[in-house]
Chains A and B, each alone.
Chain A
């Protein structure tokens, strides 16, 4: 059962082909890693999947619906959330507000309702606050709820970004280098968080450079190089693929 199906996705910036004809399928409730050397087009691919920069060609089907031309907020509504390589929190808002604002697309009350503090307003605000706390607990951040997001330590900011993405109640979670710049203990925290998220029934797509993490956690791996998919398969298959070894280590020359 596939939840996401990318077909021949290409993205061009002027004359530069950032990704070209990339196709892959993502199984439901799986963890897929997208790997490749710097500049391979991994983040561009994420931007295409989430509508930040729509693909120049190709289609992306999410649960059978083509989402390749939709704006980011529509895609989030449908059930795809993401984090960013360079953390993009709302630093001046509190930690709990960061998570509450992400439930924006899951609640409805009217402007007059907010002004007169109607019953609907109060019950829904209370509900999202409670839910926000649950997501913070999942990410071990409940102690920081009232601090400003910008004041959190780096590793916690990464986890807050994941909590915020989860608060949009996605079916697929895209994580762009969630352990970049982390020490081994912070990396372990993030890994266990990713596993917890998988147990919640979510599908995860991961961009990651830490090969130890990638090989340990992934069900499937897609390898990009210079904007083209050069391999995909299970961790064992990919580890032994000559094209992958070449892309990472260079070609073996005759002595």
Chain B
């Protein structure tokens, strides 16, 4: 994107980079610390740019390039920071981070369907619910533990994705989106009305937290590591699939379905596979959510939830796995950061999204 001249100056870039950093800190340490960080980043970048040795990265246009160059370094420092979080932060922040982790898994799963393969799915919360309820029911009714249920509910959710896709993939574009939206609503209504099984709107209570070697990990500080461990594994697996013949086939289908079929890709099969594979992660995220809350009810899986997950994927950059994680973190943390503004916070968040789509329609980490 070509930036207006006034945004392309070194000063503007410095200010923008500092602002981004400060916003990231806001949910943790409040306004004062953010201001300090802002000043710190701004002055460091100014010194660097004045010394003329390193170009100040343009906060908007070169994010993907900068990340590509310093990949290992960024990954290691992020992992370090995340691993240290439970040691210094209190329960409130850990709770927010755990939700960000769970939404990250959801967003990278949805990104497989919408971002890689280009199939708009407006009912992703249904798969999230599927994972959550599978664990809730298996645990409370039969007494199966977390680790046994993990593969079971992931695979069941995956099957649900596959079964929805079989009829739905006869449709394209907007029509497919409407079908997935309908599926989302149907799932929620079933959960809400099948009293004998799901206890309807009252939900299911008394779900167990995971245990390791007989020790319950109910404490959020321990649970945090489970969520982020699973997130790390999910990221690794999805990135590797993305860079294999499977990922390439998905991207080809998204970019030109007819051409994809004439170079030998069975488009129906790969679209089904994308649905099943993407839903798999929703199943895992749903389980993590149920085990964290120890309670599930239909109101956690509304249409707005689907929209929220989709916003995360689009915000981060359609088709970019790390972008989806960034989107999830931002959309979970920003509302918390803006809590002081009370009623205005959703207004500010909405305005931010509008501005982002205006000036960077491909999302934060998008490549276009």
Contact = CB atoms under 8 A, between A and B. Distances in A.
A104 B249 contact: yes
Contact of B252 (A101, A115, A117, A165): A101
B294 to A, nearest CB: 31
B263 A52 contact: no
A227 B237 CA distance: 51
B245 interface: yes
Contact of B262 (A50, A107, A167): A50
Given A93-B252, A111-B241, A115-B241, A105 B265 contact: yes
Contacts of A82: 262
Contacts of A88: 256, 258-259
Most chain A CB inside 10 Å of its own CB: which residue of B244, B249, B252, B259: B259
Nearest to A77: B264
B367 A92 contact: yes
A54 interface: no
A161 B335 CA distance: 47
Interface stretch (A8-16, A68-76, A246-254): A68-76
Contact of A168 (B237, B264, B266, B368): B264
Nearest to A121: B244
B28 to A, nearest CB: 34
B245 A73 contact: no
Interface residues of A, number: 35
A52 B261 contact: yes
A82 B261 CA distance: 11
Contacts of A167: 263
Contacts of B262: 50, 52, 72-73, 76, 81-82, 165
Interface string A113-151: 011010001000100000000000000000000000000
Given A73-B264, A92-B368, A105-B265, A114 B259 contact: no
A100 B367 CA distance: 20
A102 B260 CA distance: 8
A147 to B, nearest CB: 12
Contacts of B264: 73, 76-77, 102, 104-106, 168
Contact of B261 (A72, A89, A165): A72
The size bracket of the interface on B is 20 to 34
Contact of B245 (A50, A84, A104): A104
A71 B260 CA distance: 12
Nearest to B261: A72
Nearest to A169: B264
A89 B260 CA distance: 9
Contacts of A115: 237, 240-241
A109 interface: yes
A125 B249 contact: no
A110 to B, nearest CB: 10
Nearest to A107: B245
Most chain B CB inside 10 Å of its own CB: which residue of A88, A91, A92, A104: A104
B255 interface: yes
Contacts of B263: 76, 81, 101-102, 104-105, 164-165, 167-168
A225 interface: no
A8 B280 CA distance: 48
A168 B261 CA distance: 11
B246 interface: yes
Interface in B330-368: 367-368
Interface in B251-308: 251-252, 255-256, 258-267
A165 B262 CA distance: 8
22 contacts: A71-B261, A72-B258, A72-B261, A72-B262, A73-B261, A73-B264, A76-B264, A81-B262, A82-B262, A84-B259, A89-B259, A90-B259, A93-B252, A100-B248, A101-B263, A102-B263, A104-B252, A104-B265, A114-B244, A114-B246, A115-B241, A168-B264
